[in-house]
Structure 1
Amino acid sequence: MPVTRSKSVGNTSALTSQLGIVRLLEVLFTCVTFSLVVHIDRWHTRNGDWCMFSWCASFAITIVILVVEFAGLQHRMPVSWKNFPITFAMYATLMCLSASIIYPVSFIQNQNPSRRERPYLISATVFSCLSFLAYSTEVGITKAKPGEVTGYMATVPGLLKVVETFIACIIFVFISDPVSYDSPEGLQWCMAVYCICFILSLLVIILCIGECTGWLPCPFNKFLSGYTLLAVLMYATATIIWPIYKFDSKHGGSSSRPRYCSSTTMCHWDKLVAIAVLTAINLLVYVADLVYSARLIFIQG
């Protein structure tokens, strides 16, 4: 009798490889995290909404990536599969990191949970931290190695673009609640800096994921160097101007924390400090991006 062989269904290496196992852990950790939070119903605030969005979005998109790779549908997807997974993994890393900080501060430190709720809150925080570690491990596994030919988003400059846009989003949250850039004109310039640089960095990410870099009227590497140099100069001005108008008494600012600010919650002055710090951090990120982009144009030019 003829021997019948069972055909393997799907690409099992997508689940059993080192990267596949890490992604399965990501799914497990994020699922446990938001399940614990939903079980005790402790997330109905703006901070809680962000944390829940971070865990649920990371969980859902990771599932999609696993299904696509298991079914071998990478070439049928309308995005560059060399750029999309690592771009998402980097965003998920930053989102889970922020959620791992925001959630315990908002729901454990600043509130008084009951004895029944506290173990769930602590467990959710632990699994959120594990989710962050899992996604950062994926980034470490999939980022470009020296001499490796891969997508731009897998390189250091590509990953820095993700960091730049994420930090800008945090700045937007702080600067708009309450509005802190309406006057004078120097603060409006700072807001313009954040918006222009965010849009350009996001444009680069979209062009890479959509494999549309050929649409640019100039070589991609030269565009990157030119725009990154512009971003460094613009952020340098914002790093100087923002503290002058917000913390110098000569320009109506306050150099010390007002007495009306609570010791347990973030007040308006704290947000102004956070914006100044984040602006300086993003300046350093853009400087590092410029160095790598200049090296790229030197090697390929």
Structure 2
Amino acid sequence: MSVQRRKIVAGNTSVLKSSVGIVRILAVIFACVTFSLVAHKGGWNSRAGDMCMFSWCFCFAVTIVILLVEVAGLQSRMPVSWKNFPITFAMFAVLMCLSASVIYPLYFLEDRSHGSEMHTYQVVATVFSCLTTLAYIVEVSLTRARPGEVTGYMATVPGILKVIESYIACVIFVFISDPPLYEKHVALKWCLSVYCICFILSVVVIILCVGECTGWLPFTFEKFLNAYALLAVLMYASAVIIWPIFQFDSKYGGTTQRPGNCRQYSSPGYLCIWDKLVAIAVLSATNLIVYIIDLVYSARLIFITV
């Protein structure tokens, strides 16, 4: 009995020596160093700073949990699919840390009013945030499905694309809601509906896969994925056309020229309303491309066991 226990312990601790385990340990270290540097000197404020701190702390905490579960060998006792959960989180961590790596220097590095020491801490924190992002990118690369491999849906390209689609939609919501930029015309409210419906469906797919609930559907999961991907492409295509027409065409009260008040206000990281309108148009087009790729892959995906 004691020999078997030693073998189990050795097998569990060997997880930390695998390539994925080493990358996760590095991600934990980099994330810890990042938020520690920022917190040590109080080098953050505002909603942007809070978002960055949340991203680093959340990724650090969840990665620790994943490591503990795998070391303890509790994967089968977790209420989620362990074939889908770690890579789903890793992909969200890539996007969250990448966003923080862009937003933090954009908002805080240009402000040197707190002295050179604070600036040095912020620069080093930005570097370690980038390293954290790189670590999670490597983890996704190591754990994603290879051609012909039977694995969880979220480890496939369409599964990873679902995470990207939902995250881009979240960014769109941030831009479109503060202040509300969809109230001038009914057509713009349709665009908001597109973003909401597609986001909800993407989240539903992720929850079904991570929770191993795909069998609850009254039809096959593959048919649902293909129908959803096609619907999302059509809806986003309409939003990509409608949004710029009703926001930038002079007939509907818009303008193609950046207003002068945007140039006059030069606060670091500041986006005026016109900038946000452009950002939403670009993000909508980006998500349309992602959904098209998703549709192509979903139509070809016939070898995956969810």
Determine if the TM-score, normalized by the shorter chain, exceeds 0.5. Answer: yes
* Mapped partners of 1:132, 1:227: distance in 2: 30
Counterpart contact for 2:169–2:195, Cα < 8 Å: yes
Q: Within 5 A, what are the aligned runs for 1:115-154? A: 115-154=116-155
Report the identity percentage: 66
SS in structure 1 at match of 2:180: coil
Change (3 A) 1:186 1:111: farther
Q: Indicate the residue corresponding to 1:276 in structure 2.
A: 281
1:267 to 259, 264, 272: 272
* Mapped partners of 2:73, 2:217: distance in 1: 31
Q: Within 5 A, what are the aligned runs for 1:50-129? A: 50-109=51-110, 112-129=113-130
Relative contact order (C-alpha < 8 Å, sep 6+): which is higher?
2
Q: Indicate the residue corresponding to 1:21 in structure 2.
A: 22
Counterpart contact for 1:222–1:297, Cα < 8 Å: no
Q: Indicate the residue corresponding to 1:187 in structure 2.
A: 188
Q: Indicate the residue corresponding to 2:6 in structure 1.
A: 7
Structure 2: give runs of 5+ residues left out of the alignment.
none
* Mapped partners of 2:125, 2:103: distance in 1: 12
Q: Within 5 A, what are the aligned runs for 1:196-235? A: 196-235=197-236
Counterpart contact for 1:107–1:113, Cα < 8 Å: no
* Mapped partners of 2:178, 2:23: distance in 1: 37
| Count of aligned residue pairs for this structure pair | 298
Structure 1's consecutive aligned runs of 4 or more residues displaced over 6 angstroms after TM superposition are none
* Mapped partners of 1:94, 1:176: distance in 2: 21
* Mapped partners of 1:74, 1:6: distance in 2: 17
Residues 1:287 and 2:292 are matched in the alignment: yes
TM-score between both structures, scaled by the size of structure 2: 0.94
Change (3 A) 1:6 1:64: closer
256-265 or 202-211, which moves further after superposition? 256-265
Per-residue deviation, residues 98-154 of structure 1 (Å, max 9, x unmatched): 000000000012564411111100000000000000000000000001111100000
Q: Aligned-pair RMSD on alpha carbons?
A: 1.9
* Mapped partners of 2:5, 2:155: distance in 1: 37
| Residue identity matched to 1:38 | A
* Mapped partners of 1:226, 1:111: distance in 2: 52
Deviation at 1:5, TM superposition (A): 10
* Mapped partners of 2:225, 2:5: distance in 1: 50
Change (3 A) 1:68 1:251: same
TM-score between both structures, scaled by the size of structure 1: 0.95
| Residue identity matched to 1:14 | V
Change (3 A) 1:238 1:298: farther
Structure 1: give runs of 5+ residues left out of the alignment.
none
